[in-house]
Structure 1
């Protein structure tokens, strides 16, 4: 699996330390690897407490990703784009390819919980034709 980092930091508020940037990308990488291994309990463990509460079980979470985020479920190439801060989250933009010709861009909304980065939400980004 290919992992490419091309960070364009667009930091609006306080700068994020390099280890935090690495931590955010590391959590996303680990979850992507868990999806490829179909290790859903591990993938579920990278979700924020709020997301875990929403889905309640790893099986519910895995079902949602498998049928709602097929490119992530079958990820083969992950490229990190810009990182920015909104009112409540750091948002890491990620381009994901599934190796079957599908390429999508997602915003990963990250929260720090007890000193550990967790994925709080993932939202597809609608890109202009030919941009992804």
Structure 2
């Protein structure tokens, strides 16, 4: 018969092992999401329509059923993403159920203005992430 102290020790070890397996998976998800975003931005910078389009989620591809329409939409409506000056990754949040994540990207647009792009990524059946939308928020002008 196990003692109470032994049961607590076993339970603590189990919980520690569980936490160790969960935390890296979430970190890996965030890293995978950042890689998708970065690869798409690099494709935009290279005018590689096919590669940029490949990172779009199925819902986006339904709205823009071919690469040309998708590329035109990004070029006209998302200039800071299409031609960023500098960009850096901010905070990320993985959905509790693992179905997707939200990634903040701080971007300097082609005109020098600062933006925050909030990317929504959804997990695909194969475990990869695809971009399901981007919300652009213009940074406030500095106070003088």
Count of aligned residue pairs for this structure pair: 118
Q: Which residue of 1 aligns with 2:119?
A: 108
Give runs of aligned pairs for residues 36-47 of structure 1, distance below 5 A: 36-47=45-56
CA 1:26/1:48 → structure 2, altered by over 3 Å: closer, same or farther? same
Normalized against structure 1, the TM-score is what?
0.79
Query: Which residue among 80, 88, 91 is the counterpart of 1:79?
Result: 88
Normalized against structure 2, the TM-score is what?
0.73
Give runs of aligned pairs for residues 24-39 of structure 1, distance below 5 A: 24-39=33-48
Query: What is the alpha-carbon distance in structure 2 between the residues aligned to residue 70 and residue 83 of structure 1?
Result: 22
Asked if the contact 1:110–1:119 (Cα under 8 Å) also holds between the matched residues in 2, the reply is: yes
Larger gyration radius, structure 1 or structure 2: 2
Per residue, is there more helix in 1 or in 2?
2
Q: Is 1:98 the counterpart of 2:98 in the alignment? A: no
Asked if the contact 2:57–2:130 (Cα under 8 Å) also holds between the matched residues in 1, the reply is: yes
- Secondary structure of 1:17's aligned partner: helix
Q: Which runs of 5+ in 2 are unaligned?
A: 1-21
Asked if the contact 1:77–1:99 (Cα under 8 Å) also holds between the matched residues in 2, the reply is: no
Q: RMSD across aligned C-alpha pairs, in angstroms?
A: 2.2
Per residue, is there more strand in 1 or in 2?
1
Deviations 1:18-74 (CA, angstroms, capped at 9, x unpaired)? 211110000000000000000011100000011111100010000000010111111
Q: Which runs of 4 or more aligned residues in structure 1 lie more than 2 Å from their structure 2 counterparts after TM superposition?
A: 84-89, 125-131
- Higher RCO structure (Cα 8 Å, ≥6 apart): 1
